[in-house]
Amino acid sequence: MARLSGSNPIGESEEFKQVLNQVRIVAPADCSVLIQGETGTGKELIAQAIHEQSSRAGGPFVKLNCAAIPAGLLESELFGHERGAFTGALMQRLGRLQVANKGTFLLDEIGELPLELQPKLLRALQEREFERLGSSQTIRVDVRIIASTNQNLEQMVSDRQFRADLYYRLNVFPIVLPPLRDRQEDIPLLVRHFVQEYAGRLNKPIDDIPYSVMNSLRRYPWPGNIRELQNVIERAVLLTEGRELQCSQPGPTKRPLEPPPLPDHTLADMERTYITDTLRKTKWVVGGRAGAAARLGIPRTTLISRMRKLGISREDAGPGAAGFSDSPDEVTPVAPPWTNSRRLRIVS
């Protein structure tokens, strides 16, 4: 999410105005907030905007990304630890929950929080107290909790991958951020902002965005949302020479290779076709050095057996004319007969 000043988000679309209105309503209420949205939609910036518009604005704004820290270290990051609490704990460390005292604590990617740690977090949120690892001393805190996720927590609760009591504790006031593809009228505002930001950083005199470039950016679906747009503009500014922004069509430059389509025929169909083609090439000669069996690398009797099983006869009889004599000198149809009464010649 872009900023104009401080943590003020940019957007004039109706969808985004509704989000900003929700921020204004919930900011002074001091209740828990659950921010949901796709990756790159600006969940962290909305959380910070809530903090800065609340009575806790003078306190700390502390973040913890539950997906970025190994599960074995998350408890220590949350609650802290005493010296010697585990191997490598050489000194006492404050948990982020305690660091956020009198302020706001953002639990980013809360859906990644391990199940075994969720009851401890729930107790800390309900009782406003916890103990550090390796200590029996209870620590009380006054913290506002904001959680964010790109996952469907309600579905995770149904699948028993997330505790229902913790979900309801966090979901006091839900805010759902719309993806950028649903905010097309906001794209020009965001593009101009990012161009100004990166042009200033890189000391480039870019002051014009061609209509064709802006139109291309508006039509692109932006699967990575605002974060993807930000990266595209930063790269474009870096590559631009002159005062007019040069930006190629966003998205992958090459389409990923698609897997070959699955065959429409069965293995038996393909085997029948291969044997029939080989017989045609040998003029329906089965045995001998130049016969079909030699070309296929199998004994003559095996080929005759496969022909009988697959229903292979003279090409004008078509599939299904099964039944052959097992004579070493010739293969004679049993039923139905070939229309031209010819026989497969066996060359010894």
pLDDT in tens, 91-101: 888 989 999 99
pLDDT confidence band for 260 (50 / 70 / 90):
low
Task: Indicate whether 325 pLDDT > 70.
Answer: no
pLDDT confidence band for 259 (50 / 70 / 90):
low
Tell the residue number behind the tokens 């074995």, with chain if given: 72
Task: Give the alpha-carbon dihedral of 13, 18, 21, 23, to 10 degrees.
Answer: -100
Q: Measured between alpha carbons, how far is 311 from 321 in angstroms, rounded to an integer?
A: 5
Task: Indicate whether 126 pLDDT > 90.
Answer: yes
Number of other CB atoms surrounding residue 337 within 10 Å: 14
How many Cα atoms are found within 13 Å in the side-chain-facing hemisphere of 120? 17
Task: Indicate whether 318 pLDDT > 90.
Answer: no
* Backbone φ and ψ of 345, nearest 5°: -85, 140
Q: What pairs with residue 175 in β-bridges? A: 35
Please report the pLDDT score of residue 314 as a whole number: 66
Four-residue CA torsion sign, 10, 16, 17, 21: negative
Q: Measured between alpha carbons, how far is 304 from 284 in angstroms, rounded to an integer?
A: 12
Q: Measured between alpha carbons, how far is 141 from 59 in angstroms, rounded to an integer?
A: 13
Task: Give the alpha-carbon dihedral of 45, 189, 229, 153, to 10 degrees.
Answer: 40
The average pLDDT across 321-328 equals 38
Q: What is the pLDDT of residues 4-15, one digit of tens each?
A: 334 567 889 999
Helix (H) or strand (E) holding 22: helix 14-26
Check: CB of residue 54 under 8 Å from CB of residue 144. Answer: yes
Q: How far is CA 286 from the centre of its chain?
A: 55
The average pLDDT across 234-240 equals 94
What does the block give as tokens for 210? Answer: 């061609």
Please report the pLDDT score of residue 263 as a whole number: 58
Check: CB of residue 18 under 8 Å from CB of residue 183. Answer: no
What does the block give as tokens for 111? Answer: 């859906």
Check: CB of residue 26 under 8 Å from CB of residue 33. Answer: yes
Q: Measured between alpha carbons, how far is 91 from 81 in angstroms, rounded to an integer?
A: 8
Task: Indicate whether 175 pLDDT > 70.
Answer: yes
pLDDT confidence band for 187 (50 / 70 / 90):
very high
Please report the pLDDT score of residue 340 as a whole number: 41
Helix (H) or strand (E) holding 5: none
Q: Measured between alpha carbons, how far is 164 from 156 in angstroms, rounded to an integer?
A: 9
Q: Which of 185, 235, 230, 191 is nearest to 213 (CA)?
A: 191
β-bridge pairing 80-81 and 93-94: antiparallel
